[in-house]
Amino acid sequence: MVDRVYNFSPGPATLPVEVLQQASKDVVNFKEMGIGLIEMSHRSKEFMAVTDDAEQLLRELMEIPANYKVLFLQGGASSQFYMIPMNLLGEGKKATYLNTGAWSKKAIKEAKLFGEVDVAFSSEEQTFNRVPKQSEYSVADDSEYLYFVSNNTIYGTQFPEIPVTDKVLISDMSSDILSRKIDVSKFGIIFAGAQKNMGPAGVTIVIIRDDLLEKTPDNTPTMLTYKTHADKGSMFNTPPCFAIYGVGEVLKWLKKQGGVAAIEAINIEKAGILYDCIDSGEYYRGHAEVESRSLMNIPFNLPTPELEAQFIAEAAKVGLNGLKGHRSIGGCRASIYNAFPKEGVEKLVAFMKEFEAANPA
């Protein structure tokens, strides 16, 4: 077997090796049935069990209350940018959004198609280098909900505390779901694309409180109505079977690691190793303000763009892949989701020190 590289990609991201190994078997012969997982009927009792197991594991690991539905949907997290206002807004209604990065900005654009949007905070003028404190914004009295992105992959910021509001709270947790403990009961909707912390690309998880299923306007298309999928257990049409299976396998792995609290401690340790290196001198500079730093995505710069390009190229040669920063801010970025091993962070830090010594500014 070829040695695996350390994959710092922001998504699709690294997966546990044992999950990949199990999937390679199940794609060909699922549970010794003589049929591959991806050729089974989604309505067979065997595959229905796969979906049920994935849902129950997610409920256990996130401590999801009974009055919430778990949906396995298609269309990527980006489809939720319009599904949420389509289901919860309408003419004459308002929602409050916090603009802290590219994904919240896209969500705001979509929401404006369905109702009035109040952008209560924006860090765009500061190149999205921070998230707001609770005291820096207010939610309009007539807002239906408050929407925020918990972690911003491009700019490396993360809400250290969950916003407090008496309105329906909605969060895009695509890049930090299951990475730290949260109280699901504080939210109306949580959604996340799977391809960063939960499994392969292709399925989007939506956790929605039951009462919100009844708010959808009558003229909403059937496939874009949450209740359609809630009533049919995400089986209204053929779901993304392999991606759901992959989520279930990653959740089994996460449970074996000790669950969310255990992985949160590991995530804090991993990020601390890298931030300590960045903060140890002037050669490397982090993008996000310290109080807003992400545990999942860590963008940083070197003294010049030329050194950054050299750094990325030389890192790849020693098995440190996917370190190129997003085109909107350039530089470098290390994405270190749940399944990314601590050893990979330590190897990156050792390389950073060697590179600085060999290439002084």
pLDDT value, residue 90: 79
Q: In what order do the strands lie in the sheet with 168-172?
A: 68-73, 204-209, 189-193, 168-172, 143-149, 94-99, 116-122
Q: Select from 206, 236, 256 the last residue of a domain.
A: 256
In angstroms, the CA 265 to CA 277 distance is 19
What positions carry a catalytic annotation?
Answer: 103, 172, 196
283 and 231 co-located in one domain: no
Domain span at residue 340? 258-358
- pLDDT tens, N- to C-terminus, the chain (361 residues): 558 999 999 999 999 999 999 999 999 999 999 999 999 999 999 999 999 999 999 999 999 999 999 999 999 999 999 999 999 997 789 999 999 999 999 999 999 999 999 999 999 999 999 999 999 999 999 999 999 999 999 999 999 999 999 999 999 999 999 999 999 999 999 999 999 999 999 999 999 999 999 999 999 999 999 999 999 999 999 999 999 999 999 999 999 999 999 999 999 999 999 999 999 999 999 999 999 999 999 999 999 999 999 999 999 999 999 999 999 899 999 999 999 999 999 999 999 999 999 999 8
234 and 134 co-located in one domain: yes
pLDDT value, residue 2: 59
Q: How many CB atoms lie within 10 A of CB 317?
A: 8
Q: Select from 256, 289, 314 the last residue of a domain.
A: 256
In angstroms, the CA 128 to CA 132 distance is 10
Residue 158's domain is classified under what CATH number?
3.40.640.10
94 and 236 co-located in one domain: yes
325 and 217 co-located in one domain: no
Q: Select from 256, 273, 304 the last residue of a domain.
A: 256
Provide the number of structural domains found in the chain: 2
**What element of type H or E holds 241?**
helix 241-256
248 and 332 co-located in one domain: no
49 and 27 co-located in one domain: yes
What does the chain come to in residues?
361
70 and 128 co-located in one domain: yes
pTM of the model: 0.97
Q: Is residue 6 part of a domain?
A: no
